[in-house]
Amino acid sequence: MYDVIIIGAGAAGLMCAIEAGKRGRSICVLERNQKIGEKIRISGGGRCNFTNMVTEHEHYISENPHFCKSALARFTPDDFISMVKMHGISYHEKTLGQLFCDQSSRQIIDMLQKECDDAGVKVLVGCQISDVRKGDRFVITTNKGEFESDSMVIATGGLSIPKLGATDFGYRLARQFGLKITQMTPGLVPITFSKEDVSFFSGLSGVSLEAIVSCNGQAFKENILFTHRGLSGPAILQISSYWNRGDTISINLSPDIDLLKFLTDKHQSPMELSTVLSEILPRRLAKQLCEQYGWLKPLHHCSTKEISSIAAQLHDWKMEPIGTEGYSKAEVTCGGVDTNELSSKTMEARNVPGLFVIGEVMDVTGHLGGYNFQWAWASGFVAGQYV
């Protein structure tokens, strides 16, 4: 019998356990995997992009965009950085405020484990839950016995990366207690194209360049990466969270150089157009674009109208994806437990006393770059003050 049972030993669940344990609450964390923090382990290429220096609510997607404000204000990136520093973990900033461990994501997991130990938190791994019910208390039946608690926290994560143990259990549990679930889709995920288009993309697999990618009123200026199935890279992952099936995406392949001026200045060049374009674009991309669109002649043979059209097309290259690489490659799940069902102050379900929901399982999805971890820390911290 415990004061609090937390289901899921990921970033949010562990942070909640630490904070509640500090308050003297008896805590047990149940984790179905054999190890805690599996998503932390693989994040950031194994170095864990654990937060972002410029975390604002504008970096989050939700049907209620204001829901995340309170938690983010009460547990900031500086608060988590203080914990990292206290444990002697060295880190560095990459682009756009992203913070990574200098050495390994394992350091973050070890830090959270030590904080749990110090707070008297019990963590059970390899724990399979078969039944959850609520009378006066929550009763949770597992392969490791039956547990009772006054409060229960759903911190199961989303559907992304099933090979790390992701399932829909958290959503089923939320529905069991009457909580609504918003539409869910893979987020921060590579996008794919039709069979007709794949030959174009597969020929460019591995090519990368900086671009501006736009869709549905959102735009991101970062690298894109051609794959054998379509497009990936930071800018594509970002826009994928806003893309819906049937939407067209626009890619500005030359965000920093005015191609009309560039090509006009070189109009007298006898070189092939693909050769001139390769001064700005990766050579393989310039060549394939020219073959795809029939721009197969020297630049000085192009009319002013043709140059204008080519420049416009490369600044606004329109593509219609057919899908994404799905939850197996998605970094997060967009959508989830409807935030209208929850208190933004406590993360407690409005109509189910003692039931709390935190982290990725709810309808709050961050941009790429440490924002989802910061939401996990912040929502876990807040719930830890009230469970």
Together in a domain, 179 and 214: no
Number of independent structural domains in the chain: 2
Q: What is the pLDDT of residue 203?
A: 85
Together in a domain, 206 and 338: no
Average pLDDT estimate for 49-71 = 95
Q: Is the pLDDT of residue 274 over 90?
A: yes
pLDDT in tens, 297-351: 999 999 999 999 999 999 999 999 999 999 999 999 999 999 999 999 999 999 9
Together in a domain, 147 and 165: yes
- pLDDT band of residue 236 (cuts 50, 70, 90) is very high
Q: What is the pLDDT of residue 284?
A: 95
Q: What is the pLDDT of residue 130?
A: 97
C-alpha span between 51 and 206 (Å, rounded): 28
Average pLDDT estimate for 75-87 = 98
Q: What is the pLDDT of residue 199?
A: 82
Amino acid at 275: T
Please report, for residues 94, 104, 122, 262, 277, the alpha-carbon distance to residue 84 in angstroms, rounded to integers and kept in the order given.
17, 13, 22, 48, 46
Q: What is the pLDDT of residue 202?
A: 82
Give the tokens for residue 373: 């971890």
DSSP one-letter code for 113 = H
Together in a domain, 86 and 222: no
Together in a domain, 297 and 371: no
Look up the CATH number of the domain holding residue 296.
2.40.30.10
Together in a domain, 50 and 137: yes
Q: Is the pLDDT of residue 96 over 90?
A: no
Look up the CATH number of the domain holding residue 180.
3.50.50.60
Q: What is the pLDDT of residue 197?
A: 85
Together in a domain, 74 and 111: yes
- pLDDT band of residue 200 (cuts 50, 70, 90) is confident
Together in a domain, 198 and 156: no
Please say which residue of 324, 343, 368 terminates a domain.
324
Partners of 60 in the β-ladder? 366
Q: Whole domain around residue 229: which residue ranges?
A: 191-324
C-alpha span between 366 and 332 (Å, rounded): 8
C-alpha span between 331 and 324 (Å, rounded): 12
pLDDT in tens, 172-191: 999 999 999 999 999 999 99
Q: What is the pLDDT of residue 254?
A: 97
